[in-house]
Amino acid sequence: MEKAYLILADGTVFAGTAAGARGSVIGETVFTTGMTGYAETLTDPSYFGQIITQTFPLIGNYGVIPTDFESRRIWARGYVVRELCDNPANFRSAGALDDFLTAQKIIAIAGIDTRALTKKLRADGVMNGMIASGDGSAEIIRLLDNPAEKERLLAEIRAYRVQNAVQSVQDSATAPAPSDDRAKKRVVLFDFGAKDNIRRELERRGLAVITVPCNTSAETVQKIAPDGIMLSNGPGDPADNAAIIAEIRKLCDSGKIPMFGICLGHQMLALARGAKTAKLKYGHRGGNHPVKDTATGRVYITSQNHGYAVEGGSLPGCATLRFVNANDGTCEGIDYTDIPAFSVQFHPEACGGPHDTNFLFDRFLEMIQCH
């Protein structure tokens, strides 16, 4: 089998076998604990710029199912698995995962100790890495034996940064606008890297969804005169999006249109209201994250994918901490008391993941109907 290597920014090397496309790629190495939903994970735009490590040992056993995709393509930089299934068994499968990775030109590595890799990322924090396979991989490994060349290579790996993340994952150019049928309530969905299931959940509740690009102005949104505004998930550091945050702030200042933010949308809404965000050591990614509702004391299991979080102690007086992470106490949701708005860090649309918090879309619908 053809060899491949994962080289971390601290010089740690994991040897495995090549999968997907051949070549070399640098990205931010992260891990996700999802036992299923690998196709949804790969097509989630929030993973832009990252090398995804699946902690579940067998990946690809039910093939690739296009109707489960969360966007039109894979956005991750690379992919790391313990065992990649060659013979999927599922009546819905349209092909093998390895073929899908190859077709999408995603460089992957299989056969490494993903448990050891995950423990390292938990202990040291997420770090950049390089996957190398194909003709040049032996040369890259040879460079690691030369101290000067090794430092040059590691410096190149460490220098990588996820940049222009939200602007790079825009899908809204192909999104159809609904008709002017006012029999339905209308929601503007800001596309910061929106998962398709957010739109599906809104439409399932009888809402007409108008998807707009990330750089849409507050004035343009107000001219549409929607009944609600959905701030979607997306990739990267929320603080990098100063222009978008400024437009969200204008919409908040009007105080008239109900807003619901998810993940990156939650973070940018908080920044627009004066809160702060910070990068987590290794983030929350997967489908088994416990979140406590401070209003009721109930705990929900949630799907999550984020490397940044709102600092709970930085919330302004108009914001109430509604949900907290039961593992580390980080902010997982905010209710705003001066405007009709709320947001959550986790994914209530949950593809893939548990559906425990799907009721939040009903809460948004009720807020729209009341205003």
Beta-carbon contacts of 304 under 8 Å, excluding residues fewer than 6 positions away, are: 263, 284, 285, 286, 287, 289, 345, 346, 347
Residues 6+ apart with CB under 8 A from 87: 96
| Matching residue, tokens 């973070």 | 267
Query: What is the per-residue pLDDT for 177?
Result: 52
**Are 311 and 332 a contacting pair, CB within 8 Å?**
no
Instruction: Please tell me the distance from the alpha carbon of residue 56 to that of residue 284, in angstroms, as a whole number.
Output: 15
Cis peptide before 352 (omega within 30 of 0): yes
Residues 6+ apart with CB under 8 A from 155: none
Catalytic residue, candidates 28, 70, 201, 349: 349
Q: Check if the beta carbon of residue 228 is closer than 8 Å to that of residue 188.
A: yes
Give the Cβ contact number of residue 370 at 10 Å: 8
pTM: 0.95
Stretches in the chain below the pLDDT threshold 70: 171-182
What does residue 36 show for φ and ψ, rounded to 5 degrees?
-135, 180
Question: Quick one: which H or E segment has residue 323?
Answer: strand 319-325
The helix (H) or strand (E) run that includes residue 129 is strand 127-133
Q: Which of 263, 289, 331, 351 is catalytic?
A: 263
For the chain, where are the alpha helices, taking DSSP H only?
38-42, 97-103, 114-124, 137-143, 147-158, 165-168, 196-204, 218-224, 242-254, 264-272, 359-370
Distance, in Å, from the CA atom of 225 to the CA atom of 180, rounded to the nearest integer, reads 11
Is residue 263 flagged as an active site residue?
yes
d(CA 264, CA 259): 14
Q: Which residues contact 126 (CB under 8 A, 6 or more apart)?
A: 28, 29, 30, 281, 282, 283, 307
Distance CA 267, CA 245 (A): 10
Q: Could you give the strand order of the β-sheet that contains 228-231, starting from the edge strand earlier in sequence?
A: 208-213, 186-191, 228-231, 259-262, 341-344, 331-336, 319-325, 277-293, 299-310
| pLDDT (0 to 100) of residue 174 | 42
Q: Are 63 and 96 in contact (CB under 8 A)?
A: yes
pLDDT of 160 reads 98
Q: What is the pLDDT of residue 179?
A: 52
Contacts of 44 (CB under 8 A, 6+ apart): 70, 71, 75, 195, 233, 305
